């Protein structure tokens, strides 16, 4: 069964450093998403991406965040200058169509020290 994959599973970084989180969505899916979940809190939407551009982004997704689809398979989330409060699980998701079910990857646990 096809699945979304994410690397790394755990990333530890110093405050102010840049991080890039990587995702490989399900191969025939066209819509891609990033969500995050701070420990003990609800899953929060960050950004959606379709046809090589951002469709929607939340208030969390400020100028420190960017997304890219550098090739036909990868989908990345970059945080330019990490803050302590960026520590969270970051989940990538993909869906075949706009209103279709979204399938989540296993997540990257980001720890900012």
Partner 1 sequence: RKEVEQDPGPFNVPEGATVAFNCTYSNSASQSFFWYRQDCRKEPKLLMSVYSSGNEDGRFTAQLNRASQYISLLIRDSKLSDSATYLCAVTFAYNAGNMLTFGGGTRLMVKP
Please report whether residue 102 would count as binding partner 1 according to CB under 8 A.
yes
Sole binder of partner 1 in the list 67, 107, 110, 112 (CB under 8 A): 107
**Residue owning tokens 């969505």:** 25
- Choose which of 19, 21, 26, 35 interacts with partner 1 (CB under 8 A): 35
Least Cβ distance, residue 18 to partner 1 (angstroms) = 24
| Least separation in angstroms between CB 98 and partner 1 | 5
99 touches 31 (CB < 8 A): no
Gyration radius of the chain over CA positions: 13
CA-wise closest residue to 86 among 2, 13, 32: 13
User: To the nearest whole angstrom, how small is the minimum distance from the Cβ of residue 63 to partner 1?
Assistant: 18
Q: Do the Cβ atoms of 66 and 58 come closer than 8 Å?
A: no
Q: Is 56 in the site for partner 1 (CB under 8 A)?
A: yes
Write the CB contacts of 24 (distance below 8 Å, at least 6 apart in sequence): 4, 5, 6, 73, 74, 75
Residues forming contacts to partner 1 in the complex (CB under 8 A) are 31, 33, 35, 41-45, 47-48, 50, 54-58, 89, 91, 93, 95, 98-99, 101-107, 109
């Amino acid at each position: 069964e096809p699945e979304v994959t994410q690397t790394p599973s755990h990333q530890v970084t110093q405050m102010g450093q840049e991080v890039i989180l990587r995702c490989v969505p399900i191969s025939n899916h066209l819509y891609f998403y990033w969500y995050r979940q701070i420990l003990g809190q609800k899953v929060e939407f960050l950004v959606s991406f379709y046809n090589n551009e951002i469709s929607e982004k939340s208030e969390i997704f400020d100028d420190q965040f960017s997304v890219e689809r550098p090739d036909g398979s990868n989908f990345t989330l970059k945080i330019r200058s990490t803050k302590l409060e960026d520590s969270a699980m970051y989940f990538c998701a993909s869906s075949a169509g706009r209103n279709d079910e979204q399938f989540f990857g296993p997540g990257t646990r980001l720890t900012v020290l």
